Structure 1
């Protein structure tokens, strides 16, 4: 599935983030606790350098708590990274973020100058809601649709911390093809940027393997079928997603599945684990190496010409004619 979601304002925002990063004391990156890797912008990781980073695993109430704990340990193994979980249903816990910022920036906190913190995050990760909780008032516009924030803004909090808000930024190319589907499954992109059926099949395939009991419970199934198409057909009959003639409406049941997944109705579900990503990174590296080798081979074949005897013979004759012509020209110049 091709994900078409990199509008102009995102390109501009990423450029502004790069320019402003040197002026802040700490970077705050809001991640979706269900997809910490796929919601982590690799462009931000490239430009962060040694800047202290607080990674907030938001929407914790929707994610599998055991898997989230493994993600926190994995993320904090990186130098300069601290993590915390937050959720909109427990706003008081989000107040801990300011205490963590002060602890990380202890030297700056002891001075009279304000602590400058930049907050980033992909669209629809809950960044604006989090900002409003920290500010204690409505500062940032919120909405269920991605990409609500369109420009940077500075927010002075009551405790001497200045928050530099940035628009939600996705990136033009994803190295991991699975991340495209995870972003779409979680609702990080607009409905118009994806195909429900395609994403629904991906989500169904993952869920019947990782959370079969939750599916049995929610769709009142005695057994979970082995394949995603069989599951979707069974779920469609339970939910009445049937067209005239008794045919299953796959588009409708995929829409139902994704809506219930994103809202948390299916239960606390994580769409990726650190172990999965370790395997996928190896696969991606192997695929990239294979692609590079094939490209080098094509380039060499183009340079050497075809390996077929007749074309090789014609090439040798051309080279011989060129050599003879060059020799005649040299002889004529010498006369």
Structure 2
């Protein structure tokens, strides 16, 4: 359910179209700068000039981004940070992104990549219009592929959101659910909230307090969800609290950053970084 067939096709298309671009603009959610690279980026994008764009920094705990920024720079990446919803995107693309790429030709062509809900649609839709589309007549591109023009010297190639074919690391799966990049199955939703509650209790207790609008932190995630439903007056049949609705609303508001600034990724979460 969470790995639709079109994502597999998208990976195949990306490999085909890589020969038409000089660089990759890879968007990640700043709240999960490692987990939100949940696809085979090394295999897909090797030998290309790559920029990692930390998006949503306005709802990320920036002090815990420093490690990841330095980590990616140590691997040879260029790193940019922004909140696409709070800036002039065209200005950001022309004055920051364009200047950060190497230039080999008169026209810079860049592929925009990333998993769902990291800001790709926000970026693309901000500059997309009938006059900005170039379809089919771009050399080396299959007819019907859409390029988006930022200006006369800068073209973007949009790609669908991509993910691993299977996510074996449960922590990564839960983090992607919590940032809204992965649609969970019913049991995954509850497990993700349990993981998130325990994580917040240890690292960001203010998230729990803000969600409940209370200084009291419940003992476990289920009591938290019941209290959340009670606070919102979510009532199910039989006058019981509608915990299913509570979980759905909590995940949506959490992914929107309504409860405070967070970074879910810590180096100790990943064996290769220890």
TM-score tier by shorter-chain length is: 0.7 to 0.9
Cα deviation, 1:113-146, whole Å, max 9, x if unaligned, reads: 211111111122220211233x375869xxxxxx
- Label 1:237 to 1:154 Cα distance change in 2 as closer, same or farther (>3 A): same
- Cα deviation for residue 71 of structure 1 reads 2.1
| Equivalent in the alignment of 2:65 | 68
| Equivalent in the alignment of 2:111 | 118
Q: For 1:156 and 1:244, how far apart are their aligned partners in 2?
A: 53
| Equivalent in the alignment of 1:54 | 51
Match 1:166 to one of 151, 154, 159: 159
1:8 aligns with 2:5: yes
- Label 1:94 to 1:183 Cα distance change in 2 as closer, same or farther (>3 A): farther
| Equivalent in the alignment of 2:24 | 27
Q: TM-score, normalised by structure 1?
A: 0.69
Instruction: Using the TM superposition, name which of 153-162 and 99-108 deviates more.
Output: 99-108
Structure 1: gaps spanning 5 or more residues: 141-150, 284-335
- Aligned counterparts, 1:277-296, within 5 A: 277-279=269-271, 281=272
Structure 2: gaps spanning 5 or more residues: 134-143
Match 1:40 to one of 29, 37, 40: 37
- Label 1:263 to 1:194 Cα distance change in 2 as closer, same or farther (>3 A): farther
| Equivalent in the alignment of 2:137 | none
Cα deviation, 1:179-210, whole Å, max 9, x if unaligned, reads: 11111121113466875333322322222222
- Aligned counterparts, 1:162-241, within 5 A: 162-190=155-183, 195-241=188-234
CA RMSD of superposed structures (Å): 2.8
- Cα deviation for residue 282 of structure 1 reads 7.4
Q: For 1:177 and 1:186, how far apart are their aligned partners in 2?
A: 14
| Equivalent in the alignment of 1:331 | none
Q: TM-score, normalised by structure 2?
A: 0.82
1:276 aligns with 2:268: yes
The DSSP-based 3-state class of the residue aligned with 2:217 is: coil
- Cα deviation for residue 243 of structure 1 reads 4.3
Higher relative contact order (CA 8 A, sep 6+): 2
Q: For 1:182 and 1:24, how far apart are their aligned partners in 2?
A: 31
- Cα deviation for residue 52 of structure 1 reads 1.4
- Label 1:190 to 1:13 Cα distance change in 2 as closer, same or farther (>3 A): same
Q: For 1:136 and 1:172, how far apart are their aligned partners in 2?
A: 30
Q: For 1:106 and 1:50, how far apart are their aligned partners in 2?
A: 13
- Cα deviation for residue 268 of structure 1 reads 1.8
- Label 1:276 to 1:94 Cα distance change in 2 as closer, same or farther (>3 A): farther
Cα deviation, 1:142-177, whole Å, max 9, x if unaligned, reads: xxxxxxxxx852122214012111111122112322
1:92 aligns with 2:84: no
Tell me if structure 2 keeps the 8 A contact 1:52–1:104: no
Q: For 1:106 and 1:202, how far apart are their aligned partners in 2?
A: 41
Match 2:253 to one of 249, 260, 268: 260
Greater helix share, structure number? 1
Q: For 2:57 and 2:188, how far apart are their aligned partners in 1?
A: 26
The DSSP-based 3-state class of the residue aligned with 1:53 is: strand
